[in-house]
Structure 1
């Protein structure tokens, strides 16, 4: 449905349910509440156009409203075809945000929504996975005329931004929010760990205890997934290509195997690498009957869907978000959420309390870019340490936790080379 403010959403009548969802998460995001009050007072984005591409669900909607509260004209689109919640999108339209998103659009619609969101000629952007930045550097460089810079949410997007920077083609600064301590230590680890199994278990209605869960990749997301699998009673196998991470997984108590061997023993496979075909046709041919395949990386490329097609004689949907592939030797392999982010295609994403910190980092980093863009060269930037520290401080305050501070004597000791 096309609205007067040019939004394109599925159905505006869904807005009441969307408002309820947004109100619920707002009540559980005290750090972002503080940022919203600060932005209302200071108006850091007054009159500016801000374009956001994120998984469009309730927590993201609240971030959009927080940026809007700082005076911005906000436009938002989804960053994944299966993660948009239509009721939330409708609620944002009622709140004055321009929205180009609906659940499960065609590939052409998805791309069109992305371009439409950029046709506002944004001053600032928030990206998830690098699609906005890529479009501004390839298909529509004319739309970056006003762009001062922006923020990137996830590992995949930071990798793409750094690739642009390395070739000298990055046209503006991007803050790697994914690399902030208050992001990867909590969002990537605790958020991914919980939300992945939320998606798998609510979709399959199966138990994890006693199963062998293969975690493909042992970065911060992989660490979180392995930790939660262990807590649910699963036997955990980790596959890695990095020697140091492999040793870490071993010393954390997990079995470490090459993927071709892990394929033979796994009941549940979860990819968290951000890379291409980490489960390929050869691996799929070695899996046992009934194996579940789930991806928690940004794009649907980690599990080879072409490989599944090539070894299968039939495919059918057996439950919502579960496709059964019947192989030529009679085995059944189950792909969850079309191989897209299982925690968002089959669930509601990370818990609100976790995204509270991440989205506070996004909002405050966007303010930093806006205040300093004239003096910054086009580059991928770290989140300023002061912003990371401020978000942690606000989170502790919201939890009622008080910590110690260094005395003047201790500070002097730590800054001296003399005993």
Structure 2
């Protein structure tokens, strides 16, 4: 019998409908599932999955299970777990530890329950599982063959741990694969962030001034979508190269304090803390909207908002209004957590099809190569990236050219006169 901690097991039928819907729109994972069912690469292996627990993640977990894995799963964000999806996975025989709106204590307890199942492979989102395996559950870290990391924030944490010489097992930086950041981070984040903002606020984007803090691949996608919907877009950055890139892309790089005076909607996507804080709130317009698309709820400084306000109230689902002492009102979406997941359904299924295909194939790679890999952070092998791209093109009915033997010889010959 599966072990589970879910809000209501009776919600399973609704969750199953959601999982079945995304399955129809994830052809790459479907192809990998067929292969896994035939070869059973994870037979006898316990895989711990800690990613936002909604339908697309659930289907990844089921693909791993189809490949023979014993799967334990927990959500990577207290506000992104969908209780009906969690229930559906429990009914399907997975160990599930998650519910929506968990307290900090409950959230940690869910992760610890998953880790205590004794994973051989971990699939992480933001590094919370890896952190616990390196702090409170070091005894179980010895069993871990390796794992995969989904996010920019998580990869940054892993590389810092590797530099300090403390990483206890190999990790694949799935976030850094071409088929991840070029599509998931740019198109997935770009679309899902605006979907979350617009369905939460029911306000128009066109004509507004949008401030995007951070011009990595996620920031590029958010800015591009805002521009396409008719917004005026300001970008704030700490990297001079990215600031020039934003300028060349037609946006307006600006110091955050100056941008704070102009923005109608502020979106943080940096992976750092205190991106917007008291000094920014002092000069923001009455009615300005703040939200976060980075991993943790520290980019928009909530304690400063509390300290500067006379009180706050929830004015719509996932919108908290802060009444400042000078009479202005600022609005925070989704408690400063990921607006596209805490106030939305996350990235489109067709996008996560590629990202989760990378996860599934990278997990198998870790299993196959565990004796060869050192305790380092590794890039996704090119053959995995290319395989996912090829499967995606096939699903779209798109053909591509292939080099002839003569072209291969030419392009690989340093002397073009021979």
- The CA distance in 1 between the partners of 2:345 and 2:132, in whole Å, is 27
Instruction: State how far apart, in whole Å, the 2-side matches of 1:32 and 1:286 are.
Output: 48
- The CA deviation at 1:310 is 1.5
Corresponding residue of 1:319: 316
Cα separation, 1, equivalents of 2:218 and 2:5: 33
8 Å CA contact 2:3, 2:94 repeated in 1: no
Show the counterpart of 1:164. Answer: 161
Deviation at 1:30, TM superposition (A): 0.1
- Of 280, 283, 302, which aligns to 1:305? 302
Contact 1:267 1:290 in 2 (8 A): yes
User: Is 2:314–2:321's contact at 8 Å kept on the other side of the alignment?
Assistant: yes
1:6 to 2:9 alignment: no
Unaligned runs of 5+ in 1: none
Distance (whole Å) between structure 1 residues aligned to residue 408 and residue 282 of structure 2: 60
The one of 365, 376, 394 equivalent to 1:368 is 365
Contact 1:278 1:302 in 2 (8 A): yes
Secondary structure of 2:3's counterpart equals: coil
Aligned to 1:344: 341
SS at match of 1:374: coil
Is the partner of 2:73 in helix, strand or coil? strand
**Residues 159-211 of structure 1, C-alpha deviation per residue, up to 9 Å, x if partnerless?**
11111100000000000000000000000000000000000000000000000
The residue that corresponds to 2:143 in the other structure is 146
1:355 corresponds to? 352
1:189 corresponding residue in structure 2: 186
Q: Work out whether residues 194 and 225 of structure 1, in 8 Å CA contact, stay in contact via their aligned partners in 2.
A: yes
2:324 counterpart of 1:295: no
CA-based RMSD of the aligned residues comes to: 0.6
Between the aligned partners of 2:140 and 2:203, the Cα distance in structure 1 is 47
Residue number among 407, 412, 415 corresponding to 1:415 in the alignment: 412
SS, match of residue 5 in structure 2: coil
Q: Which residue of 2 aligns with 1:394?
A: 391
- The within-5 A match list for 1:61-140 is 61-140=58-137
Deviation at 1:151, TM superposition (A): 0.2
TM-score by length of 2: 0.99
Residues 238-276 of structure 1, C-alpha deviations (whole Å, 9 max, x = no match): 000000000000010001100000000000000010011
Quote the offset at 1:6 in angstroms.
2.4
Q: Which residue of structure 2 aligns with residue 19 of structure 1?
A: 16
Q: Does 1:331 align with 2:328?
A: yes
Out of 46, 57, 61, the residue aligned to residue 43 of structure 2 is 46
Distance in 1 of aligned mates of 2:352 and 2:282: 38
Deviation, 1:5, is 2.7
Q: Give the unaligned 5+ runs of structure 2.
A: none
Q: Secondary structure at the match of 1:76?
A: strand
Displacement, 1:27?
0.1
Residues 142 and 168, structure 2, Cα contact 8 Å, conserved in 1: no
C-alpha distance in 1, partners of 2:326/2:404? 70
User: 1:177 touches 1:383 (CA, 8 Å); kept in 2?
Assistant: yes
Aligned to 2:371, the other structure's residue is in SS state helix
Taking the aligned partners of 1:146 and 1:44, their CA distance within structure 2 comes to 18
In the alignment, the residues of structure 1 paired with residue 402 and residue 236 of structure 2 have an alpha-carbon distance, to the nearest angstrom, of 41
- Conserved 8 A contact 1:121-1:145: no
Distance of 2:223 and 2:103 partners within structure 1: 34
User: Shift of the alpha carbon at 1:140?
Assistant: 1.1
SS at match of 1:278: coil
Instruction: Please name the residue that 1:216 is paired with.
Output: 213
